[in-house]
A = this chain, B = another copy of it.
Amino acid sequence: MTNTVQPGAVVDPARVRHPYFRDLVTDAASAVARIRHGDTVAISGFASAGTPKAFAPALADRIRRVRADGGELSVNLLTGASVASEAESLLAEVDGVALRMPYQSEPTARGKINDGRMDYVDIHLSHVAQQVWEGNYGKVDVAVVEVAAITEDGKLIPSMSVGNNKTWLEVADAVILEVNSWVPLEVEGMHDVYYGTALPPDRRPIMMTGPADRIGQPHLEVDPAKVVAVVPTNEQDSETAVTVPDAISQAIAGHVVEFFRHEVECGRMPADGLLPLQAGIGNVANAVLAGLADGPFTNLTCYSEVIQDSMLELIRRGTVTHASATSLALSRAGLAELVDNIDLYREHVTLRPQEISNHPEIVRRLGIVGMNGMLEADIYGNVNSTHIGGTRIMNGIGGSGDFTRNGYVSMFLSPSTARGGAVSSIVPMVPHVDHTEHDVQVIVTEHGLADLRGLSPRKRARVIVDRCADPAFRPLLHDYLDRATARPNAGNTPHILEEALSFHIRLAATGSMLE
């Protein structure tokens, strides 16, 4: 080990309670000195919460120095999902990441990926732990995990996300712990870390039947012999900025609330509590949740990946009785609200490993209502969530597939246009498919809601165009559909292959999908 351990460095004994770990206290620069070129490094962090604060700046510095000395240093970087933008961009700027998995949402990293300078593997978030255990990403050399504290008996109190931390701590050869004093110690008990997963053929049923069920333990475990450094930090999580819902988001939210009302009337959802809701990250999802605050529904629950600002409000009002997630995606104000009222939220929020928050078994059993954003849908209900123009990655599929495929109702929400009306989010054929026609049940834009359940492709097309497309694009879409359907041997899913991607080709050529 080459790093300079500094025994007795400043550390709060309430944060590092076990003397063994106090002896490992060092600074981040020393801790990252052990990272070698080609290492696979798995770090904590899911959305804006729980990213190690000192690691990325220290590693980026080290990469610069190694390069200045004529050396090379880059790593394969595994995370929970996206991590704090600052960390992502620092490492991308120095070309420090050779391979990135499973999700990112930061412009510098995105640019490197789209330039072919960073390999990106875009897999379902519920698959990550399994695939790493399976060995698809080789050996994990170093795990870097932020925690709130290390207890008297060497257990770890997680910080503001769980993500894949359980797995990282188990599979890594060496572990660096960042102990962040900003995280309130009262967060202890908000987490439920399930240690019952296994690789097949040794898997057993996961005995959870509701979003509030606790099936695990409040602490993460780590083999002390693997811990090579304990790095004290004191820095708040970065924020997930939210905007006040605009008219479009509010219209979308209105359609969703009306749909829920209809489902209750039809007896498909219980009037009291509906079914556990999942909402992707973003302003539209945030607006939908906010819309529920004024709705008629009570005793709601949430089984999702992240807790957003509007969820805190729903919990505070008592509309939501329990929210299960793997992380927080809060604004500055939301973070302050959470920290200031941690006792309230600890009671009504459970943070779980993403293996469990997104688990096919649980998502199917609980009957999740999935609400995710999209870039675009085609007239037959195939959804593109990831690739602008079919080629340039935006963020990644994240957990949307986990909830869509295995949930009870799968909804995709989007404004009907983008770029000032030049881009339609309803197109003849999407140039990249993340969610197939077999999985997409409901599409919602500000214009309306298309309920595709039980409809053949030709009928879906009429409903999607008439209910969801912006009126400016409807004539073009109708014209395409009419001509495709009128062709001899038109098929179950009529298309004109020569024109199927014409909206996207026109956009690239003229800056607009309109003719």
Residues of A bordering B, CB below 8 Å: 99, 101, 113-116, 119-124, 130-131, 134-138, 199-201, 203-207, 209-210, 266-268, 270, 273, 275-276, 359-361, 363-367, 382, 387-393, 397, 401, 405-406, 408, 429, 431-439, 453-459, 484-485, 489-495, 497-498, 500-501, 504-505, 508
Contact = CB atoms under 8 A, between A and B. Distances in A.
A119 B210 contact: no
Contact of A493 (B115, B360, B391, B457): B391
Chain A interface, >50% SS class: loop
A201 B367 contact: yes
Contacts of A137: 454
A365 B491 contact: no
7 contacts: A114-B489, A136-B454, A200-B367, A360-B361, A393-B491, A431-B500, A497-B508
Contact of A492 (B99, B120, B359, B408): B120
A280 to B, nearest CB: 16
A137 B453 CA distance: 8
A433 B411 CA distance: 19
Give 8 nearest A-B pairs by CB, closest first: A200-B367, A391-B491, A433-B433, A119-B456, A393-B492, A392-B491, A205-B205, A361-B361
Contact of A205 (B209, B401, B436, B492): B209
A391 B495 contact: yes
A428 to B, nearest CB: 11
Contacts of A401: 405, 436, 438-439
A113 B453 contact: no
Given A361-B360, A366-B200, A493 B387 contact: yes
Nearest to A504: B497
A497 B491 contact: no
Contacts of A119: 455-456, 458-459
